[in-house]
């Protein structure tokens, strides 16, 4: 069997971005449909326990023709002690909302059966480090990448607010060779309890704070904010299909209102030019 390396290079990047861009470039976004089809149809030539994560994923090695890649499969669906769900379907819903918003930070994910069970299958994307490794080992971020990394941090917070992903860790924020940000692991998102529809995870009144101070999204792309403003239940429903319930879609819409109010509050305080770019 050939090593599973060659084809993966198409999801890596060659230059450090000097301005904020989507994680996946235009040509790569154009091939998302190809990868979704590949994930659904490629032969599974090898499988193994991934060895990381509480959701017990499998690493699958896929091959179709001369195309080879790795992917991660999970079928967890269980209620946690705090009442939240850990659900493989949320992986697909998060990917589809990422596409709907034009963020392009989540690798392709589809539903696929493995070992006789349905689950989510996520394409492996080449990365250099997790944010956890960067922090733990003191790996320096190049000065020319610092601004983009900081902006991606704020986008990640805003996205996690919208999809109620309060399970984000430094381990599931991945960084490429050229310091672009990849987001993985969303099976504990889409909380729909009253607490997660009345408050955001981040923001002025967010659950999460640092040294007692709110963790804000100080700067956001104008295009992202416009995309959030354009969301409605019908568009979300059309994007996610059966992977979210009506209650979960309603919860996204409730958080959309809170997120926009927080952003508008920042704009009023700091000025639009300081917040949107």
247 & 269 share domain: yes
13 & 80 share domain: yes
What is the structure's pLDDT at 205?
A: 95
Q: How many domains does the chain have?
A: 2
234 & 111 share domain: no
Q: Residue 140 has which token pair?
A: 């320096």
Cβ pair 252, 220 in contact under 8 A: no
183 & 271 share domain: yes
Has residue 1 been placed in a domain?
no
% of the chain exceeding 70 in pLDDT = 90
114 & 47 share domain: yes
For residue 172, the enclosing domain spans 129-275
Cβ pair 57, 74 in contact under 8 A: yes
Per-residue pLDDT tens over the stretch 214-250? 999 999 999 999 999 999 999 999 999 999 999 999 9
Q: Tokens 């993966």 map to which residue?
A: 8
């Amino acid at each position: 069997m050939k090593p599973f390396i060659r084809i993966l290079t198409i999801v890596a990047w060659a230059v450090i971005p000097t301005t904020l861009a989507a994680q996946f470039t235009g040509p790569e976004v154009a091939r998302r449909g190809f990868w979704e089809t590949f994930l659904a149809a490629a032969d599974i030539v090898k499988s193994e326990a991934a060895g990381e994560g509480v959701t017990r994923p499998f690493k699958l090695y896929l091959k179709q023709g001369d195309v080879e890649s790795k992917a991660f499969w999970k079928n967890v669906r269980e209620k946690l002690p705090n009442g939240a769900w850990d659900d493989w379907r949320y992986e697909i819903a998060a990917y589809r909302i990422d596409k709907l918003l034009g963020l392009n930070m989540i690798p392709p994910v589809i539903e696929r059966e493995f070992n006789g069970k349905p689950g989510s299958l996520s394409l492996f994307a080449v990365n250099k480090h997790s944010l956890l490794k960067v922090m733990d080992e003191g790996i320096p971020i190049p000065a020319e990448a610092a601004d983009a990394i900081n902006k991606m941090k704020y986008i990640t917070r805003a996205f996690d607010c919208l999809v109620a992903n309060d399970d984000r860790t430094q381990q599931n924020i991945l960084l490429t060779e050229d310091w672009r940000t990849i987001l993985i692991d969303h099976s504990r998102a889409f909380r729909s309890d009253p607490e997660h529809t009345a408050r955001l995870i981040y923001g002025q009144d967010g659950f999460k704070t640092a040294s007692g101070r709110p963790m804000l999204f100080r700067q956001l792309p104008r295009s992202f904010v416009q995309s959030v403003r354009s969301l409605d239940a019908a568009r979300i429903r059309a994007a996610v299909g059966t992977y979210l319930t009506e209650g979960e879609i309603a919860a996204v819409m409730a958080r959309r209102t809170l997120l926009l109010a927080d952003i508008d509050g920042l704009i009023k305080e700091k000025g639009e030019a300081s917040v949107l770019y």
